[in-house]
Amino acid sequence: MQTPAKIKARKGRVPKGDRVGTLVRLPTELREHAQAIATQEGLPLGDVITRMVAEALGLQAPAYCYPKIQVQEELPLNKAS
């Protein structure tokens, strides 16, 4: 009798919670500005637009809609191994 194979952990991105797909057609200029922000912040365009909508409505956007703060210090060469 064979034992069942180990269940592998799901790989992929972390779920972002309860959301619904919404098709929005933006004027080219608005999309270009939003895409520039997304590129600068290293975020997907949809997350940036979600943040913009939340802020326009006076609501707090989900945490994933903000860039991650990276605090890294350069190690001095005499401490590096």
CA 81 to chain centre: 33
The answer to whether residue 75 scores a pLDDT higher than 90 is: no
CB of 48 within 8 A of CB of 37? Answer: yes
Chain segment 11-37, per-residue pLDDT in tens: 888 889 999 999 999 999 999 999 999
Using CA atoms, how far apart are residues 39 and 44, in angstroms rounded to an integer? 8
Asked whether 34 and 52 are in contact (CB, 8 A), the reply is yes
**CA nearest to 45, candidates 37, 53, 54, 56:** 37
pTM: 0.70
pLDDT of 31-66, one tens digit each?
999 999 999 999 999 999 999 999 999 999 999 999
pLDDT of res. 73: 72
Phi-psi region of 12 (alpha: psi -120 to 50; beta: other; left: phi over 0): left
Domain boundaries, the chain: 28-65
